[in-house]
Amino acid sequence: MDAISKPALAFESPLTRRSIIAAYFLVIFLALPLWWKTTSIERQGLPASRVSAQIGRDLVFPVRIALNTGPHELGMDRIVLDVQRQIEKNGDFEQNGLQLHVSNAATANDYQVTLRLGTWDPVIKGREVVLEILPEHVGIAAMQVADILVTLLMPYTSLWSSQAERIVSYSPRYRLAFTLLNEDATGDNAALSWDVRGALSAQLSPLLARLSVLHNFTIESQVQYHGPLAFEPHALQVAEKTEYGLTPEDLTVFVNSAQWTLSSSVSNDPVLHFIAFIPSSRHSPLRILDSDGSPTPSSAFILPQWGGIVIYNPESTGVAHTLAGRPLDAIFATFRQQLSALLGVPELPPHVQVRSNELAGVTDWQLDALVRRRAAENTASAQETLQSIVRLVAQIEDMPVGEDVKGDVENALAALDQTYSTASSSQFQVLAFASKAQSIASRAFFNPGMLALLYFPAEHKWAVYAPLFASVAAPLLASVIREAIVWRREKKAKAAVAPAADDRGHKAG
Amino acid sequence: MRYSFKSFVCTLCLGVTVAALSEEFHEELFLRPLRDGKVSARFSFSTLLNGAVPRDPETLGAEDESQLYTLFPLALGQILREYAVTELHLTLNAGKWNYDRWGYPDEPGVGTGAELWAWMGEGGIASVDNRWLGLRNALAGLFCASLGSLDEQRTTSPVLTFQPEGSLPNSTVNYRLRHATLPSEHVCTENLTPFLKLLPCKSLSGIASLLNPHKLFDADWHGLGMHVRYLEGAGVEVRLATQAVLDPVRTSSDKRRDWSLSAIFDRRIEKACPVARSSVIRVRLPQNETYAIVPSPSTMDSIYATYLVREMEKPLDVAILWPEETKFVYPTAIEPQTHISVHRTLNGASQHAGHLALTVTNNHDTELQAGYLETMPWLLQFYLHTLHAEIDGVLRDDLVKLISYTPALPHVQPALLQAVLTLPPRSTMRLTMDVVKPFLAYTEHPPDAQRGWDLPPAVFVPFASQNASQIGSDPQQGAVLSDVRSTRMYTPVLLVDLATPDFSMPYNVIIMSCTLIALIFGMVFNTLTRKFVVVRVDEKKSS
């Protein structure tokens, strides 16, 4: 009955059979590393602890204020102490990452506050503000100094949310697209061309040069001759004349993106559009209405984060061939204001006067505040992006993380560290590092390599493997088990039969 | 940042001193009645940027000058400068141009589907091929056409046939041609809308207001074209063109061939475009027939009537009537209108091999030569040694000269075949060649329903025979020679049917093949490890 008891065939031996089976397993064993290498996902370890250490880390700008009371009798030592105390009482400075030191010795890059007796409004000259104090207010001079420092150093705390929301997010380069848009150039009032070069160099170049520490600008312009509105403006009777009005709701849908060719397709830089809109004679004059439906004196409006629009009603009817001179200067002056509002240049308090006009209307105080704001914004956004990457990678186990992503994350962290370490020396360098950190972090976040296996989950892999490997593995395993059983039985039989082995051998012989 | 900005300020200053570039816009409509009762309409809108020079590729990394345009389309200007394109031609056509009946087209680029070719200078940080890739994708976005698929597998450089139409800026830079065709692209309204947006007056005034998509895309043949070239001493010119062959007989109730703008376009010119420096409608007048043309043109000679749109009374509706004709009778036979006629066919029913055949007829009494160009994707591979020419059944391989051939590389690049054919007078040459159809990887099949693969048109450029110019003295021959324009002629496209797998059941295929492999493995494994034993049948028991 037993297979063992039967004599084996000459060409067969258990050794050969077992080595054949072993060879199969050897091949599988040798192929395992290859299989592992070709199917595993590259996941570099991200410096998660360093990223989480960034939480709660804030930029702190040390700001030195030199108080200068001149030869006057305001009492220098006392007022310095008073101002310092007032500032410490006001928690806003600390919250906004400003560390103020007030002293009476001026160095080169400090902000200077000059106190004087007098009745004039505060005057700004470079990084200096001249504050005149009424003789009867000498007692609260320290409070006045602290107040003016709040409005000049932290102009953003007083912004309404709608003003803050219209500021475009930071980009090292913007495209500024200026469009002269005629609603219908075949009608009576239209401008067929404009002196855009002259207006740009007169009105905008100084501002752009001033802001060049923050952004680069690419400028382009076009003229459109047919830009119909997507809606019909309301007709109004004003002083026996028909005028046309745009309600606040109309303004939100004013841009007819289907028919106005405004989009640009060649680059990823954000575009800010500035449109000078000339209504057709059918809709002329076109006014902006307030919420009550009565015309406002304003003829321009900002679309948050998109651009600005100026509605120009030509004074004389008839086709003006070229728009130039004073009307165009007025339009571009509005564009300049809209651009500085969109880029987040803070406004000065209305009572503060500016001494010199050569700074394109942006004082050093404003520019510094903007640079600090952009630096803080970029730092926060870089931190947030890095944390999102780490969270995402931890959440999705199949997500590949390549060497380049890891390198980007590390570089972004290094740039962030540099941001913090230079905060005490130079604001412009802080901005440079912060924007570098931000751009590298978002490059890491949008790395296309991280998407690769998102659509090829592990389940799919097993579904493909199972039909082949399951059916191949079954006979392999079965043979191993069978051989093991046979081998054990053989061993047992050998042990039992060993004493009688000699007799049997003789019999067989 | 500061330095690049300074350079911007400088360019701005420079711009001011140079003074604003003047820009000119010209529009023209050319109407031509055809022998078979149809009307060919060609719209041409050209904008000239005076004094402009194409961007030097060496400056690609640096800050570019500001683009301040009045009439020139900004969206296109951005693309041209971003990729430093010197000359650019894009055509999108639908239908088959019938050279025999309609003669040479007014716009030479009539190949079915999309055709894009550009001349670009070498140098700078970006290679020509990188810029060609960017250009394709940018134009695809601008025109809503699938130009992005004009990849390396369709790109060739046939410099003999596609010479620059303008001038190349005179410098030490080498210029390279990139040419690609996509015959399966079908032009439609979604391409016309962005096309019209590039015009200063859109389709709201001037001649462009006649471009009614309903009528235009109903035409027997229609196409859009965009041509950018640099004219030495003038500037950069962009010309947008639309061409259509309309059939007034089909739409008229009493089968007459009288036509008017309102009949063929369903629109009239209501307003002139205020910024067009010239706005002209030219009509080619019928010869040796009685006709009436209304309204009376601005100027007229025996061949052309010309309307200056701005001076005409609006609305303007040009019409030609044949008052003596009650019903249009289609001519039974029309003499071929071109010097040569070409037909190309792909024969063979199998999915592996085939046979490409061309018949080229010289319709003239003099010997002609023709440049022959095939830019064939590797979907069809030539056996060049089987290329034979015969006339009336007689083998005449000596008439095919100057063959240059770049073989196709499967999955990489198309084949480029150029040759010069000599065509004896009034004879028909038959060119044949064996071809083979390859297998595609499964990812190379398009996801759409499969109708086969369109193959790009072959291009012929007829020109006067060199032998004939040596003889030269015969006056009649001289007339023919001057008449031979070196214009490109496109053959119709071909359709090739390649072996297509069944894509519907990939998982079933996996299961099926895995089962087979497992079965074979099991059998082999069993045979190798089976233990054979000899069973001795006990003879005593059995007996």
Q: Are residues A313 and A404 in the same domain?
A: no
Across the interface, do B274 and A471 touch by the CB < 8 Å criterion? no
Q: What is the CATH number of the domain that holds A152?
A: 3.40.50
**Under 8 Å CB-to-CB from A79, ≥6 apart: which residues?**
A67, A69, A115, A141, A142, A145
Task: Please give the C-alpha separations between residue A450 and each of A36, A399, A400, A444, B34, in angstroms, as whole numbers.
Answer: 20, 6, 5, 9, 60
Q: Which residues of B touch A263 (CB under 8 A)?
A: 75
Across the interface, do A471 and B522 touch by the CB < 8 Å criterion? yes
| Residue B543 pLDDT greater than 50, yes or no | no
Q: Are residues A128 and A192 in the same domain?
A: no
Q: Which residues of A touch B13 (CB under 8 A)?
A: 201
Strand extents, DSSP E, A7-104 = 61-68, 98-103
Which of A9, A178, A192, A226 would you mutate first to test chain B, the one with the most B CBs within 10 A? A226
Q: Which residues of B touch A218 (CB under 8 A)?
A: 64, 66
Across the interface, do B525 and A184 touch by the CB < 8 Å criterion? no
The predicted-structure confidence for B186-224, as pLDDT tens digits, reads as follows 888 899 999 999 999 888 889 999 999 999 999 999 999
Asked if residues A286 and A313 have their Cβ atoms less than 8 Å apart, the reply is yes
- Chain A nearest C-alpha distance from B202 (Å): 7
Give SS3 for A99.
Answer: strand
Domain termination site, one of A162, A178, A200 = A162
Strand extents, DSSP E, B144-234 = 155-156, 175-182, 221-231
How is residue A393 written in tokens? 């990678």
Q: Does A350 reside within a domain?
A: no
Q: Which residues of B touch A9 (CB under 8 A)?
A: 532-534
- Chain B nearest C-alpha distance from A52 (Å): 32
CB-count burial class (<10 Å; 0-12, 13-18, 19+) for B106: middle
Short-list B216, B214, B135, B207, CA closest to B178? B135
Q: Are residues A339 and A233 in the same domain?
A: yes
Q: Which residues of A touch B197 (CB under 8 A)?
A: 261
The pLDDT value given to residue B229: 93
Give SS3 for A277.
Answer: strand
Backbone φ and ψ of A104, nearest 5°: -115, 10
Of the partner residues A9, A21, A209, the one whose CB lies closest to the CB of residue B532: A9
CA B537 to chain centre: 86
- Chain A nearest C-alpha distance from B76 (Å): 9
| Residue B20 pLDDT greater than 70, yes or no | no
The C-alpha atoms of residue A15 and residue A264 are separated, in whole angstroms, by 77
Q: Does A394 reside within a domain?
A: yes
Give the model's confidence band at A144: pLDDT under 50 very low, under 70 low, under 90 confident, else very high: confident
Across the interface, do B202 and A226 touch by the CB < 8 Å criterion? yes
Give the model's confidence band at A97: pLDDT under 50 very low, under 70 low, under 90 confident, else very high: confident
Question: What single-letter DSSP state applies at residue A229?
Answer: -
Give SS3 for A4.
Answer: coil
Average pLDDT over residues A481-508: 74
Q: Are residues A239 and A339 in the same domain?
A: yes
The pLDDT value given to residue B467: 54
- Chain A nearest C-alpha distance from B21 (Å): 11
The pLDDT value given to residue A359: 65
How is residue B35 written in tokens? 């022998």
Q: Which residues of B touch A24 (CB under 8 A)?
A: 525
Across the interface, do B202 and A205 touch by the CB < 8 Å criterion? no
Spell out the SS3 assignment of A400-416: CECHHHHHHHHHHHHHH
Q: Does A293 reside within a domain?
A: yes
Of the partner residues A193, A198, A216, the one whose CB lies closest to the CB of residue B70: A193
The pLDDT value given to residue A413: 93
ipTM, 2 dp = 0.82
Per DSSP, chain A holds a count of helices (H) and strands (E) of: 15, 16
Flag the least confident range among A88-102, B146-160, B311-325.
Answer: A88-102
The pLDDT value given to residue B21: 53
Q: Are residues A110 and A242 in the same domain?
A: no
Q: Which residues of B touch A468 (CB under 8 A)?
A: 514, 517-518
* N-term to C-term CA, chain B: 110
Q: Which amino acid is at B343?
A: H
DSSP state string for A408-472: HHHHHHHHHHHHHHHTTT-HHHHHHHHHHHHHHHHHHHT-GGGGTTTTS-HHHHHHHHHHHHHHH
The mean pLDDT value of chain A amounts to 83
Q: Which amino acid is at A267?
A: S
Task: Please give the C-alpha separations between residue B354 and each of A214, B124, B348, B351, B389, in angstroms, as whole numbers.
Answer: 65, 45, 5, 8, 17
CA dihedral A369, A375, A380, A386 (to 10 degrees): 170
The pLDDT value given to residue A357: 64
The pLDDT value given to residue A7: 57
Across the interface, do B515 and A184 touch by the CB < 8 Å criterion? no
**Under 8 Å CB-to-CB from B100, ≥6 apart: which residues?**
B334, B336, B337, B338, B341
Q: Does A388 reside within a domain?
A: yes
Highest mean pLDDT among A8-17, A71-80, A279-288, A404-413: A404-413
Expressed as residue numbers, the domain containing A153 is 61-162
Across the interface, do B75 and A198 touch by the CB < 8 Å criterion? no
Q: Are residues A229 and A304 in the same domain?
A: yes
Q: Are residues A133 and A102 in the same domain?
A: yes
Average pLDDT over residues B6-19: 38
The predicted-structure confidence for A257-268, as pLDDT tens digits, reads as follows 888 888 776 778
Which of A24, A226, A266, A483 would you mutate first to test chain B, the one with the most B CBs within 10 A? A266
Residues in chain A, overall count: 509
Across the interface, do B533 and A192 touch by the CB < 8 Å criterion? no
The mean pLDDT value of chain B amounts to 86
Q: Does A463 reside within a domain?
A: no
Domain termination site, one of A343, A358, A389 = A343
Give the model's confidence band at B89: pLDDT under 50 very low, under 70 low, under 90 confident, else very high: very high
CB-count burial class (<10 Å; 0-12, 13-18, 19+) for A291: exposed
Q: Are residues A450 and A382 in the same domain?
A: yes
Average pLDDT over residues B367-393: 92
Whether domain B340-496 has CATH 2.60.40.740: the reply is: yes
Asked if residues B448 and B149 have their Cβ atoms less than 8 Å apart, the reply is no
Across the interface, do B78 and A223 touch by the CB < 8 Å criterion? no
Q: What angle do CA B34, B36, B41 make, to 5 degrees?
A: 35
Asked if residues B315 and B270 have their Cβ atoms less than 8 Å apart, the reply is yes
Task: Please give the C-alpha separations between residue B238 and each of A26, A470, A485, B92, B211, in angstroms, as whole numbers.
Answer: 70, 66, 87, 16, 19
Asked if residues A295 and A199 have their Cβ atoms less than 8 Å apart, the reply is no
| Residue A61 pLDDT greater than 50, yes or no | yes
CA B514 to chain centre: 48
Highest mean pLDDT among A343-347, B27-31, B69-73, B394-398: B27-31
The pLDDT value given to residue A30: 94
Q: Which amino acid is at A138?
A: V
Q: Are residues A154 and A71 in the same domain?
A: yes
Q: Which residues of B touch A8 (CB under 8 A)?
A: 531, 533
Across the interface, do A226 and B75 touch by the CB < 8 Å criterion? no
- Chain B nearest C-alpha distance from A461 (Å): 12
Of the partner residues B16, B517, B519, the one whose CB lies closest to the CB of residue A201: B16
Domain termination site, one of A343, A374, A404 = A343
The predicted-structure confidence for A180-236, as pLDDT tens digits, reads as follows 999 888 877 888 888 899 999 988 998 999 899 899 999 999 999 988 898 899 888
Asked if residues B493 and B455 have their Cβ atoms less than 8 Å apart, the reply is yes
The C-alpha atoms of residue A125 and residue A119 are separated, in whole angstroms, by 18
Q: Are residues A178 and A324 in the same domain?
A: yes
Task: Tell me the domain boundaries of chain B.
Answer: 13-321, 340-496
Of the partner residues A7, A464, A467, the one whose CB lies closest to the CB of residue B515: A467
The predicted-structure confidence for A452-473, as pLDDT tens digits, reads as follows 655 566 677 777 778 778 888 8
Give the model's confidence band at B472: pLDDT under 50 very low, under 70 low, under 90 confident, else very high: very low
| Residue B478 pLDDT greater than 50, yes or no | no
Give SS3 for B131.
Answer: helix
Across the interface, do A172 and B202 touch by the CB < 8 Å criterion? no
| Residue A489 pLDDT greater than 60, yes or no | yes
The predicted-structure confidence for B90-127, as pLDDT tens digits, reads as follows 999 999 999 999 989 998 889 999 999 999 998 888 89
Across the interface, do B200 and A263 touch by the CB < 8 Å criterion? no
CA A225 to chain centre: 36
Asked if residues B313 and B271 have their Cβ atoms less than 8 Å apart, the reply is no
- Looking at the structure of chain A, the number of domains it has is 3
The C-alpha atoms of residue B539 and residue B543 are separated, in whole angstroms, by 6
Of the partner residues A212, A261, A263, the one whose CB lies closest to the CB of residue B1: A212
Short-list B514, B488, B512, B515, CA closest to B502? B512
- Structure-model confidence comparison of residues A244 and B529, the more confident one: A244
